[in-house]
Amino acid sequence: MEFHSLKTVGLDDEWQRLFLPFADQGYALGRVAIQERNQYKVYSSLGFIDAQVTGKYLYTADSQAELPQVGDWVVMMLFEDENKGIISECLPRRTKISRKAAGQRTDEQVIAANIDTIFIITSADANFNLRRLERYLLMVTAGKAEPVIVLNKTDLTDSPETLIDQIRSVFSGTVLPAFALQENGVKGLRSLIQPGKTYAFVGSSGVGKSSLINALFGKELFLTQDIRQGDGKGRHTTTRRHMVVLPSGGVLIDTPGMRELQPWEGQSGTAETFSDLDRLAKQCRFKDCSHRTEIGCAILEALETKSIEQDRYDSYMRLLKEQAFLENRKEERENKRQWEKSIGKTMKQFRKIDPKYKFLDR
């Protein structure tokens, strides 16, 4: 991996200020570029090094999401003779991409951290899905990063403007057409990238994230694969998250395609992603309106007059239901954690009285 200074990978005055107390204690600063389980590749003052977290950090972290992720700035001890580091903690994250981890467990999965702008990639083929875009927007805005939607593979439609108009019906920000296989196909995308800023690519498999990154680099950095002909779905090209530095100086994080997409902190992003429905909800007759059967529901009235589309309403209601369920699960998990902590404290108190005391759970 090519050596890059910490300023090249995003170090600014605010990160330096946050790190200053640790520098006085002899620690070094680094930024995570690759993470695989508890093994890390980190940009540091020594260059690109291998690193692990301390046993204490592993033990005290309440969840995997609290451990370092790609894009995190980490505090560590450096071992120059071995070109390795031991990570003791992370600096507070400014932004993140986060979702509920796949499966039944109620756990947060942080995809990447400390991103300035997130490019949500969709494609002008069978993969195009406005409802999925809403979920990505919800995830990005909840994580406090700036979203930009990129419509890739514009050569596959005779009217990319029609698809862009559909995107603009749910998103008022920047929308860029792109075609990674054309020489000037990423001109608009390249113009947004600034030195020292961090960007991430997210999108489902097959939308062309790796092709776009290769076009930005001017060479094949990541392998690409064809999509399946039957349903337009892609195969996973990127299987782990990478942080790389573009020739222009911007920092870029590529992420694997996501098949399950449930935002972890969706409530904070709903007001922005569904701003039209959020404004209507404030006009409802009842503050606790469920927007299903109530008299005086402004959203139902707008649905009846076709001021909002049925699909958008269905998407909004489905996300509200998922968020309510997830919040209940989070509360249950937190209550269980607090109960386990109280049991632990009680056991410690008994052991102070009688060191031979053993707690029987049956």
Lowest mean pLDDT among 31-35, 129-133, 319-323, 350-354: 350-354
Q: Is the pLDDT of residue 362 over 60?
A: no
Q: Are 78 and 45 in contact (CB under 8 A)?
A: yes
Q: Check residue 38 and give its pLDDT.
A: 83
> What's the pTM?
0.80
How far CA 151 is from CA of 168, 237, 301, 332, 358, in Å, comes to: 12, 19, 33, 40, 62
pLDDT in tens, 92-125: 999 998 887 766 676 788 999 999 999 999 999 9
Q: Check residue 28 and give its pLDDT.
A: 96
Residue bearing tokens 């039209």: 276
pLDDT in tens, 328-347: 776 777 677 777 677 767 76
pLDDT in tens, 281-319: 999 999 999 999 999 999 999 999 999 999 999 999 988
Q: What does DSSP assign to residue 154?
A: G
Taking the domains of the chain in order of start, what are their residue ranges? 13-90, 96-254, 267-324
Long-range contacts of 155-163 (CB under 8 A, 24+ apart): 155/124, 155/179, 155/181, 155/182, 156/123, 156/124, 156/125, 157/124, 157/125, 160/124, 163/124, 163/128
CATH class, 267-324 region: mainly alpha
**13-90: which CATH topology?**
OB fold (Dihydrolipoamide Acetyltransferase, E2P) (2.40.50)
Quick one: pLDDT band at residue 359, thresholds 50, 70, 90?
Answer: low
Top-confidence residue, 21 or 213: 21
- Which tokens hold the place of 244? 């790389």
Q: Check residue 261 and give its pLDDT.
A: 61
pLDDT in tens, 168-200: 999 999 999 998 878 778 899 999 999 999 999
Distance CA 263, CA 5 (A): 33
CA triple 112-116-120, angle to 5 deg: 70
Q: Is the pLDDT of residue 213 over 60?
A: yes
Q: Is the pLDDT of residue 356 over 70?
A: no
**Maximum CA extent, the chain:** 79
- Which tokens hold the place of 197? 């800023």
Q: Are 241 and 200 in contact (CB under 8 A)?
A: no
Long-range contacts of 75-79 (CB under 8 A, 24+ apart): 75/19, 75/22, 75/27, 75/28, 75/29, 76/27, 76/28, 76/29, 76/30, 76/42, 76/44, 76/51, 77/26, 77/27, 77/28, 78/28, 78/44, 78/45, 78/46, 78/49
Q: Check residue 183 and give its pLDDT.
A: 73
The residues near 194 (Cβ < 8 Å, ≥ 6 apart) are 249, 250
Quick one: pLDDT band at residue 266, thresholds 50, 70, 90?
Answer: low
Query: Residue 122 corresponds to which amino acid?
Result: T
Distance CA 115, CA 112 (A): 7
Q: What does DSSP assign to residue 14?
A: H
44 CA to centre of own chain? 23
Q: What percent of the chain has pLDDT over 90?
A: 45
Residue bearing tokens 């070094």: 28
Is domain 96-254 classified as CATH 3.40.50.300? yes
How far CA 100 is from CA of 86, 120, 273, 307, in Å, comes to: 28, 18, 18, 32
